[in-house]
Amino acid sequence: MTDRLSSLWQQRYRTPLPEALADNKVSQSAVFDSLLTHRSVRAYLPNALPEGTIEAAIAAAQSAATSSNLQCWTVIAVEDPVRRARLAALCGNQSHIATAPVFLVWVADLSRLRRIAQNEGETHEALDYTEAFLIAAIDTALAAQNAVSALEAAGLGTVYIGGLRNHPEEIAEKLALPEGCVGLFGLCVGYPDPAEPASVKPRLPQRAVLHRERYDFEAEAEAEIIAAYDALDDAFQKEQGLPSRRWSATMVRRIATRAGLHGRDTMRTSLKALGFPLK
Ligand SMILES: Cc1cc2nc3c(=O)[nH]c(=O)nc-3n(C[C@H](O)[C@H](O)[C@H](O)COP(=O)(O)O)c2cc1C
């Protein structure tokens, strides 16, 4: 068991397993094992998913916590290859959307609550506020990740598609989304192609992300942590046959200018057009 745990930890952080984890119950479960082996899969076999797979994944998704039980998300399962190809084009021509047998579109959905209020003859002014959009976005992400965990534990592969937000209005139109709905991200689902295996990508050390009692920032210590992670990430890139890089420089390029948003700098306008006033 500890060997397995050491190997999971090693793959994720590329450091030895801390002693405290060896006997900790949280790290002993099959769920933990599956979570730590997550990697995004972008190469799929053409095999269809067995009957009931989507419904099982959605049951996992609906089992996630949801703010005040509002349940303000909807998922659209797209299997039709022609429709998937059209969506792939709208999401930055990502070919895995066309090759994975199923593409799940995760939708922040305030329209259902609006309809319920209208049917009751009531107002729904709280839905116009940024907080309502945030609730829907948070709940959608929590639900999707539950589905991912269930699918991965069964040997399926997935990759999230933020490219779905490249053209929010066109996506809404293609999928006949009512007002008060926005596609937040897609999710390709399928059997990983063993000829193109994906690897576990190392993450920042916990010292970077886990603080205790208060935000614990010290410039020199953080610079050291980031430099060490840059080296780890570069080693991973080389192992994968990918170009050498500094992770921090790549991330900085991404956030340096508005252009780094690749056209998504108009998101607020799109959200308003789709029925989220964001007051
Ligand atoms: C919300 C979200 C959107 C993403 N969008 C894309 C995408 O459009 N295309 C893609 O190939 N990967 C996408 N990814 C996958 C990330 O690139 C990937 O999770 C990250 O590089 C870490 O790699 P790993 O998942 O293999 O650990 C997305 C991930 C998330 C969480």
Do 29 and 96 fall within a single domain?
A: no
Q: Do both 59 and 174 map to the same domain?
A: yes
Domain assignment present for residue 217? The answer is no
Confidence of residue 23 (pLDDT cuts 50, 70, 90): confident
Residue 26 has pLDDT above 90, yes or no: yes
* CA-nearest residue, atom 28 of ligand 1: 160
Q: Take residue 275 and report the two structure tokens written for it.
A: 């029925």
Tell me, yes or no, whether 73 and 190 share the same domain: yes
Cβ of residue 185 lying under 6 Å from some atom of ligand 1: yes
58 and 131 share one domain = yes
- Closest atom of ligand 1 to CA, residue 39: 26
Return d(Cα 104, Cα 53) in angstroms, integer.
12
Q: Is it the case that residue 1 has pLDDT exceeding 80?
A: no
Above 90 in pLDDT, residue 60? yes
Q: How far is Cα 240 from Cα 232, in angstroms, rounded to an integer?
A: 13
Q: Are residues 7 and 83 in the same domain?
A: no
Ligand 1 close to Cβ of residue 40 (< 6 A)? yes
Closest CA to ligand 1's atom 8: 161
Answer yes or no: is the C-beta of 94 below 6 A from any ligand 1 atom: yes
Regarding whether 144 and 14 lie in a shared domain, the answer is no
Name the helix (H) or strand (E) containing 97.
Answer: helix 95-99
| Residue 59: inside a domain | yes
**Tens digits of residue pLDDT in 239-274:** 999 999 999 999 999 999 999 999 999 999 999 999
Query: Could you tell me the distance, in angstroms and rounded to a whole number, from the CA of residue 250 to the centre of ligand 1?
Result: 15
Most distant CA atoms of the chain, gap in Å: 61
The answer to whether position 214 is within a domain reads: no
Any ligand 1 atom below 6 A from CB of 133 = no
The pair of three-digit structure tokens given for residue 241, joined into one six-digit string: 């046959």
Q: Would residue 76 count as lying in a domain?
A: yes
Is 245 among the domain residues? no
Q: Are the CB atoms for 186 and 145 separated by under 8 Å?
A: no
Residue 82 sits in which domain range? 53-196+264-273
Q: How confident is the model at residue 235 (pLDDT cuts 50, 70, 90)?
A: very high
Indicate if 17 and 83 belong to the same structural domain.
no
Question: Is residue 239 in a domain?
Answer: no
The CATH number for 135's domain is 3.40.109.10
- Compute the distance from residue 145 Cα to the ligand 1 centre, in Å: 12
Q: Based on the domain organization, do 32 and 119 belong to the same domain?
A: no
Claim to verify: residue 30 and residue 165 sit in the same structural domain: no
Q: Based on the domain organization, do 105 and 9 belong to the same domain?
A: no
Mean pLDDT, range 73-95, rounded to an integer: 97
To the nearest whole number, what is the mean pLDDT of the chain? 97
For 256, residues 6+ apart whose C-beta sits below 8 A from its C-beta are: none
Summarised one tens digit per residue, pLDDT across range 153-202 is 999 999 999 999 999 999 999 999 999 999 999 999 999 999 999 999 99
**Residue 216, domain member (yes or no):** no
Q: Tell me, yes or no, whether 66 and 190 share the same domain.
A: yes
221 is a domain residue: no
Q: How many domains does the chain have?
A: 2
Residue to substitute in 96, 99, 160 for testing ligand 1 pocket (most ligand atoms within 8 angstroms of CB): 160
Rounded Cα–Cα distance for residues 145 and 141 (Å): 6
192 lines ligand 1 (CB under 6 A): no
pLDDT band at 2 (very low <50, low <70, confident <90, very high): confident
**Together in a domain, 14 and 133:** no
**For residue 121, how many other CB atoms are within 10 A of its CB?**
6
